[in-house]
Structure 1
Amino acid sequence: MKIESIVTIKKELKHLSQEELLELCLRLGKFKKENKALLTYLLFESHDEDGYIASVKASLDNLFEGINTDSYFYMKKTIRKILREIRVYSRYSLKKTTEVELLLYFCEQMNDLKPSIHRNVTLSNLYERQVLSVKKKIKVLHEDLQYDYNLQLENLER
């Protein structure tokens, strides 16, 4: 099966009735968990970005509380899982500020972990890569936002 381009799909969707579009959306939602999550974001949470960020942070808190701190091996696996979740949640929202806020929150939580992540080279490198990623993402934002986020970043680096 040849997968069509987005442009072709968009043209074809224009010819469908409202009821047919509704059926397609519901079928997409049933097919994959990520599709359902994206539809949930678009329908219920996209109008309140701050609320969305707060709910994502709450779910991240639950994931951080569930980290097995007995071994750095288990910590690494869970932290990578959390980072994948952040990337998925950031992709739903097309706003750069959402991604920056979630990554800053991730870095704050990493700093608060016991035992310290800075005693493990892999976790320390992962943390540093995220800080560099945040710095790059901050540079494309508005000046006022850059200032605010850079202050948060400086607090992290202390």
Structure 2
Amino acid sequence: MKAASLNEIRKDLQAADEDTVRKICIRLARYKKENTELLTYLLYEADNEQAYIENVKEDITELFTTLPKGGNTYFIKKTLRKILRFADRQIRYSGIKQTELEIRIFFCTKVKEARVPLQPGTVLYNLYQQQLKKINAIFEKLPEDLQADYEREVKVL
């Protein structure tokens, strides 16, 4: 089966009645956890972005409590990647650059607070540097007034 293009799907959804669209959304939500999470964001959290950011920060803080204490960098790396996948998924749901910037800054701050060993040349160091690159790329695209708001936080990282 060949998948229809997004344009074709959009046209057919506009032509369909409200009840059919509702059934399609519910059926779509059953098959993948990400679809359910995206629908939850769109229905309940998209109207209050700041509360959404705070919820994501709380979830990230909770995930950081699972970070292994000790010197085994393998398990630290696996846990950080798990947290980063969660953060990236939440960023994708929002699609707002300011939200992405806040979540990435918070992630890097939590990494520093957890005192993760970031010796140059390690996977952990590269992971952290990639986040800094993404933060700087987003930061440069923001308007000047928002850049002034986040400038101090970015410099601390």
Same-fold call, TM > 0.5? yes
Stretch of structure 1 that moved more, 116-125 or 62-71: 116-125
Tell me the equivalent position of 1:37.
37
Stretch of structure 1 that moved more, 96-105 or 12-21: 12-21
Question: Using the alignment, how far apart are the partners of 1:129 and 1:17 within structure 2?
Answer: 45
Equivalent residue letter for 2:29: G
Mapping for residues 51-90 of structure 1, pairs under 5 Å: 51-70=51-70, 71-90=72-91
1:105 aligns with 2:106: yes
Tell me the equivalent position of 2:127.
126
Q: Is the 8 A contact 1:100 1:137 kept in 2?
A: yes
Question: Using the alignment, how far apart are the partners of 2:45 and 2:137 within structure 1?
Answer: 27
How many pairs were matched up?
Answer: 155
Question: Using the alignment, how far apart are the partners of 2:149 and 2:55 within structure 1?
Answer: 22
Hey, which bits of structure 1, 4+ residues long, moved more than 3 A? none
- Return the TM-score normalized by structure 2: 0.94
Question: Using the alignment, how far apart are the partners of 2:130 and 2:119 within structure 1?
Answer: 16
Report percent identity of matched pairs.
Answer: 37
Stretch of structure 1 that moved more, 25-34 or 145-154: 145-154
Question: Using the alignment, how far apart are the partners of 1:103 and 1:137 within structure 2?
Answer: 10
Structure 1 residue 57 displacement after superposition: 0.5
Q: Deviations over 1:54-111 (max 9, x none)?
A: 0000000111011112311100001011111111100111210001100000000011
Question: Using the alignment, how far apart are the partners of 2:35 and 2:95 within structure 1?
Answer: 15
Q: Which runs of 5+ in 2 are unaligned?
A: none
Question: Using the alignment, how far apart are the partners of 2:102 and 2:20 within structure 1?
Answer: 38
1:20 aligns with 2:20: yes
Q: Deviations over 1:9-53 (max 9, x none)?
A: 011111211110110011111111000000000000000000000
Please tell me the root mean square deviation across aligned C-alpha atoms, in Å: 1.1
Equivalent residue letter for 2:87: I
